[in-house]
Amino acid sequence: MSMVIEVKTRKMAVVWLMTALLLLGACQSGKGGESKAAPLPEVAIVTVAPRSIELDTELPGRIAAYQVADIRPQVNGIVLKELVREGSDVQEGQLLYQIDPTPFKVALQSAKASLSKAEANLPSVRARAERYKELLAQKAVSQQDFEDVTGVLGQTLAEIEYWKAQVEAARINLNYTRVTAPFAGRIGRSQVRIGNVVIAYQPTPFTVLQQLDPIYVDVVQSSAELLRLRRALEVGRLHSADGHSGKVKIFLEDGTSYPLEGTLEFADVSVDPTTGSYALRIVVANPRHLLLPGMFVRAVVKEGIAKDAIVVPQQGVSRNPKGQAVALVVDEKDIVQQRILTIDRAVGDQWLVSSGLAPGERLIMEGSLKVRPGNSVKVVPLHNDTATGQAGTVSGSNAASQK
């Protein structure tokens, strides 16, 4: 009996001891929590600073020949010679085809002979008219005889002028048997061969001649972008780039950059009602004939310089459920604030901000998922401070612009 009581006593002592230890640990844990406060979340920031950037617009385009000519015959005849190789470069005035000149030489000789005959009659007719004029003054001939002689003189002079015109026409037709290049360029595929009969101004050309240096780049731009650009220039947000106005950079189909810059030469005077766009024409030197008609390219047109522009990394901007661009900033008391932004366009890997951020504000770049507006935070610098105010040139695409 005493042994049973002793065992129970020992068990109760162990239970009390364990309870005391647990209570002691809880008290110590509570004291430690009161003495050590939870750390503030850390956020990495960049300081927003205005800078000048050069804005570009990227537009799709097609290459078009600077000049195009359908080489057609201007007289009827048989092709005697083909003096050019298909796909070769030719110079202005170079002989391309020779049409049989024989009938045109005969026509020229005939016209010259008729002219000579008319000119041979002129001296005698003119002398007779002068004699009749003297005789009329002496009343030795009638007025009718004098008028008949002067009429023959006028008819002879008119006949001479007629045959002069015929000689010139025959000479022109003879020259037309020599089909020459109207300008320097590259010849396409030949549609006729030696021995073919051709007709003046026939629908099918001999070949097509295209001038490839310089060459055109035809692009289209939306009318909305045109209005935006003009508005930015009017209100002073955008300034003309001195010495670079109208300069265009060309990128080929494979993404490589064309080594020579183009110049904006022509803007259409009307907007296409079906697409809401208008045409731009760029001229660019093409000495190596790297650009060929029909080729697809991308043209980057320099718009101008945006002074005091706010450009921030895209990493620091997100979207709310309404689709609005939002950013988190840290105020002077290290408290998180939210800003609603108006984005003008993408500039490389950054956003050009029209409104919502002010110079000097600290934009949260890292740690934004750990905080909410109104939270106190610990600010740490971002090693790659891409938003510091260093003036530079950054290119962007209007295809990525957002409002």
> pLDDT digit string (tens) for 320-375?
999 899 999 999 899 999 999 988 888 888 898 988 898 999 999 988 888 899 99
Cα–Cα dist 77/356, whole Å: 77
Q: What is the mean pLDDT of residues 270-288?
A: 85
Cα–Cα dist 129/135, whole Å: 10
First to last CA, the chain: 92
Rounded to 5 degrees, φ, ψ at 93 are: 85, -5
**Residue pair 53/347 in contact by the 8 Å Cβ criterion:** yes
- Say what the pLDDT of residue 101 is: 96
User: What is the secondary structure of 60-79 as a DSSP string?
Assistant: EEEEEEEEEEEE--SS-EEE
pTM of the model: 0.63
Average pLDDT along the chain: 82
Cα–Cα dist 70/78, whole Å: 19
State the architecture of 72-210 in CATH terms: Beta Barrel (2.40)
Please calculate the CA angle 72-76-78 and round it to the nearest 5 degrees: 90
Which residue intervals of the chain bear CATH 2.40.30.170?
A: 47-64+212-400
Q: CATH number for 47-64+212-400: choose from 1.10.8.60, 3.40.1390.10, 3.40.50.920, 2.40.30.170.
A: 2.40.30.170
- Reported as a pLDDT band with limits 50, 70 and 90, residue 166 is very high
- Reported as a pLDDT band with limits 50, 70 and 90, residue 274 is confident
Burial (CB < 10 A; 0-12, 13-18, 19+), residue 398, is buried
Which residue intervals of the chain bear CATH 2.40.50.100?
A: 72-210
Whether residue 78 is predicted with pLDDT greater than 90 in this model: the reply is: yes
Whether residue 218 is predicted with pLDDT greater than 80 in this model: the reply is: yes
- Reported as a pLDDT band with limits 50, 70 and 90, residue 11 is low
Residue with tokens 């005969």: 106
Around 143, how many Cα atoms within 13 Å sit in the side-chain half-sphere? 0
Q: What is the mean pLDDT of residues 209-230?
A: 83
